[in-house]
Amino acid sequence: MARKLLVLVAGSGLLIALVGLSAIVLLRRSAERSAQAALAVIAEQAAARIGAYLSHQREMLHALAGLVTGIPKAEQRLAQVALDAPSLGRVTMLTARTPAEQLPQHLAPADVVAALAGREVASPLYFRQDLTPAMDVCVPAGATPGSAVCATLDLLELQRQVQRIRVGGSGFALAFDAEGRLLAAGAPMLRAAVLTGEPVAESQLASKVARGEPAPAEFNSGIGEEVLAGWARLPDPRWTVVVEEPKREALAPMRTALIGLSAVALAALIVTAALGAAQSRRVLDTLEMEERWRTAGRIATGISHDLGHRLAILQSTAALAEANDPAYLPLIRDNLRTEMATLKKFVADFADLSREVSPDQFLPLDLNAFAQSVGRTIVPHAEKAGVHITVVPAAQTPWVKGDRYLLERAALNLISNAIEASPPGGQVSIEVTQRDRVATLRVTDRGPGIAEERLPRIFDAFKSTKRTGAHVGMGLPNVRRIVIAHGGDTAVESELGRGATFSIVLPIQPRPS
Amino acid sequence: MRPALLAVLALALACRPSREQAEFRLRIALVGPLKALKPGMGEPSASDYAQEWVFESLLRTASDGSPIPWLASRLRFLTPSRVAIQLREGARFSDGSAVTAEDVRRSLAADALEVYEHEGGLLIESRSGAAVEPLLRHEAIYKRIGDQYVGSGPFRVVSFSPEGLLLRRVTQAPAKISEVLLLGLPTPRDPFARTLAGDADLLIIDDPKQLEFFQGVTRLRVVRGHGANAIAVAMGRRRMDRGVRRAIAAALPVGSISRLVFGDECPPFPSRADASSALPPRPLEVAVIRQDLALEHMALAVARSLGPHGGEVQFISVGDALRLLKTQEFDLMIVRPLVWPPSALGVVWASDSPYNQFDYRNPKVDAALKAGDWARALQALRDDPPVAFVCTPERLAVVDSRVKNPQVGPYGYLETLPDWEIAE
């Protein structure tokens, strides 16, 4: 019972541990998703700032273009703008007469033509001689056809914005153009690629994002370790921003929390199991003690009832003997014989109870031969009661292992009960069968049978079906004790008025060589 | 027990890395191609940074601008144009030969300096009567062996190509730089890329904005120092007389101009408002070399600060600028003259100086320079100003963080490199 309780507690603990593990996995995934979402938000914010900055510069350029249109010395005034709006870099007027060496250096010829035709055009990002990131932008010069105002936008501020983004201890941001060229890098070890134009690990992903394809939120970064990432895309120019954080760092707080939580849960589990086991043992000890007292009480009740009955008969017999009437002598003799036999069986039952079952002393046993032997032993007793015994062996020889003496006591107990329950002229059959790795010895009588409500507790101690006062109800419990100790089981089937069948079921053993 | 302990100690000492293993090579990324190292003012190249490590001059410049003996161990100025010196005892060229009076005489001949043996030492005298101190700081003492130039500095040339100049310390010193490798790279962005990629340990920064590339790069540290060249507005003497130039110098708000263009990166010169003449009625054109956006902005700011007297900004080439400076046929021009140490006035503004690119001739300035009175020379310069000084940008470099005491300046950009210590 204690072991079962312990297993129950341990099982519960295991279940809790499994639930805990599942919770850890779920928490980890949840933390990853949260970190990725946070990185994506930062990337979106960075992209929005870049977009707003560029938009602001273009708006300024448009405003300038509107202001200088048609005024004298427009070129000089535009040049002066560089002092008030240094982010516009060098501001110039573009016309069809502009010398080639004064055209915006990084605009394609087709873009220059388009700018003169009244379209807003922009070059890719490039690095000026002083290594400041820049972009040539031209906007139409007001309503004046064939002229445009151009600026060399100073994008140092954008580079600074991207480089200054810090996430945790070592998270960073990268900005790419539509072809996946690195424009700004928060990770110092990737910054050389900004100047050389060499692709980094993220370049291919960035060009995919620029095309509108989804990008993975987890990959091996150019910094040489696995990162979680959030991406954002600018519509114009088609740049992408990715914010990355090394996975080890992004999940570190969650990992620490989970380790702490797991440690606490494990400690709680161990304490609970220990307390549960200790408490169970204490309860079991109490129950066992109470059960012992109850058993002792039942034994005492049975013994006092049975011995009291026997004592009353012996007192009556003694009274007959004191009468000194020879006519009573046969009665006195019969009474004494009967009571002696009863008391002898009483003692034998207790002797059986006291005999321990030792599995290490079990020997192979042919159950067919065993049944025939028991049948022969019981024949005198059966004949005396006018009951006929039949033995039906199994078709094959079923071998079992056991203490022959105890098994014989158990079988004889069942057969004696069957004989006593049978009317004179009745029949008791002993049948042996073998099926599914078990052998069964069935004892069947055609007596009055047992009431259905008594069957479930028929093998309990002191629950004899006989109310003659000659038994304390130790026989069937002893049969069950012996059979269980042999690794087997007992069973009973009965119907009132149609007799009863008691079975001893034992595991089949290999035939001894 | 004790012998066992001693044995373990002996083993531990034997296993310590040797000095040889701790040698440190400093790689400097520069824009090439490099040229063979040659003392004096040859055609400028990035190799010139190595001049001060291979060649020594007789004097060097302390951080306060004063001269201190270098190859000359003792000196005594008899007059500003005559000085008696003793060569440093045991001074030797990197080939092992001793530095002689003949070597000094040959090295200083280009500057019209006479060298005599005098009282166990040397007497150096300027034939023109010019102050010798600036020249002695500047001119390297060398010895020519075939087509090679050998110096007495702490480093010697090991190998040369236009892509790489390797120098090695003549006498190895613990925890100091053992070798210097100058890398001559094709484009201005290559030194940055190579330094960021970890292929170089030192990079000279021209523009403070370029420091943005090194933000968060823990392997490198930023080193700042006082600049030796000012940003100034040259005033054409053929077009404007002394009074007009003084008026222009007084009218220029140098503080606000430097802040507008450079922010806090260029400390302004103190303004001297002592104008007595009026500005000319016509607008003054401002010429600037079109290669540096900051200088372009400076030209625009100067033109604007002069109000109606400010004219157009003209973008010119380097060749045009040199020609105009010689002829002085311009109104205003943005220039970067040497201003430090104070004796540099003698190099830039003395009438007979070979480095007087402004063709400036002022007897009062010459007299003060010959007398070695730099303050008086500066005052004379202000009375007849060829330029209006605006500000002096800082010198900047990024250096490997393992270098404990890097410094730019005080005179040459990296002259203190031989003294830099390397963290263990």
Half-sphere exposure of residue A386: CA atoms within 13 angstroms, side-chain side: 5
- Number of residues that this document lists for chain B: 424
Q: What is the pLDDT of residues A337-355, one digit of tens each?
A: 888 887 887 787 777 777 7
Query: Residue range B266-277: average pLDDT?
Result: 75
Q: Select the residue from B185, B190, B192 to test the A interface by mutation, using most A Cβ atoms within 10 A.
A: B192
* Encoded tokens for B114: 């006479």
- Is the pLDDT confidence value at B385 over 80? yes
Beta carbons within 8 Å of A22's beta carbon, 6+ residues apart: none
Percentage of chain A beyond pLDDT 70 is 96
Which of B192, B197, B296 has its CB closest to that of A131?
B192
CB hemisphere CA count around B122 (13 angstroms)? 23
pTM here is: 0.71
- The ipTM estimated for the assembled molecules is 0.82
Q: Give residue B349's pLDDT.
A: 93
- What are the tokens at A474? 């130790």
pLDDT at position B340: 87
| Mutation for B interface: A88, A131, A132, A158, most B CBs within 10 A | A131
Within B121-271, residue ranges assigned H as helices are 133-138, 189-196, 242-251, 254-262
Q: How far is CA A120 from CA A92, A97, A150, A151, A303, in A?
A: 15, 19, 10, 12, 116
Helical H segments across A357-500, by residue range: 367-385, 404-421, 475-485
> So what's the pLDDT on residue A251?
85
Nearest to A245 by CA among A235, A234, A236, A253: A253
Confidence of residue A110 (pLDDT cuts 50, 70, 90): very high
Q: Which residue of A has its CA nearest to B195?
A: A192
8 Å CB contact of A131 and B213: yes
**C-alpha angle B272-B277-B280 in degrees, rounded to nearest 5:** 110
What's the pLDDT score for residue B11? 46
Q: Which residues of chain B are within 8 Å of residue A160 when distances are taken between CB atoms?
A: 212, 215
Write the single-letter amino acid at A69. T
What's the CA gap between B129 and B377, in Å, rounded? 16
Going by the DSSP 8-state scheme, the letter that residue A104 receives in this structure is -
pLDDT bracket for residue B332 (50, 70, 90): very high
pLDDT, tens digit (0-9, with 9 covering 90-100), for A370-422:
999 999 989 988 998 899 999 999 999 999 999 998 899 899 989 988 998 99
Residue B412 has pLDDT above 90, yes or no: no
| Cα dihedral sign, A332-A333-A338-A344 | positive
In 3-state terms, what secondary structure has residue B410? coil
Rounded Cα gap, residues B397 and B201, in angstroms: 10
* Sign, CA torsion A206/A211/A212/A215: negative
**Predicted local distance difference test score (pLDDT) of residue B294:** 86
Q: Where are the alpha helices (DSSP H) in A125-184?
A: 156-163
Contact between A358 and A403 (Cβ < 8 Å): yes
> Quick one: CA dihedral A443, A444, A449, A450, positive or negative?
positive
Q: What is the mean pLDDT of chain A?
A: 88
Amino acid B65: pLDDT: 85
For A131, which of B188, B301, B303 is closest by C-beta distance? B188
Token duo for residue A146: 């064939």
Q: What is the pLDDT of residues B140-192, one digit of tens each?
A: 999 999 888 999 999 999 999 999 999 999 999 999 999 999 999 999 999 99
Give the three-state DSSP class for B165: strand
CA distance readout (Å), A360 to A357, A403, A409: 9, 10, 19
Residue type, A113: V
Q: Tell me the pairing of strands B25-31 and B121-126.
A: unpaired
- The nearest CA of chain B is from the CA of A88 a distance in Å of 12
Under 8 Å between Cβ of B71 and B152: yes
Q: Which residue has the higher pLDDT, B271 or B130?
A: B130
CA torsion angle B334 B338 B340 B341 (round to 10): -160
Residue A335 has pLDDT above 80, yes or no: yes
Contact B217 A82 (CB under 8 A): no
The residue-averaged pLDDT of B123-139 equals 87
CB pairs under 8 A between A and B: 74
Taking residues A191-207, report their average pLDDT: 95
B213 pLDDT higher than 50: yes
**Are B124 and B85 contacting, i.e. CB atoms less than 8 angstroms apart?**
yes
Structure tokens, A175: 């900005």
Considering only the beta carbons, identify the residue of B213, B217, B300 that sits closest to A82: B300
Handedness of CA A466, A467, A471, A474 (dihedral sign): positive
Chain A positions with Cβ closer than 8 Å to B = 76, 79-80, 82-83, 86, 89-90, 127-132, 156, 159-160, 163-164, 186, 188, 191-192, 194-196
| Strand ranges across the sheet with B148-151 | B56-57, B140-145, B148-151
A460-474 pLDDT tens trace:
765 555 544 445 567
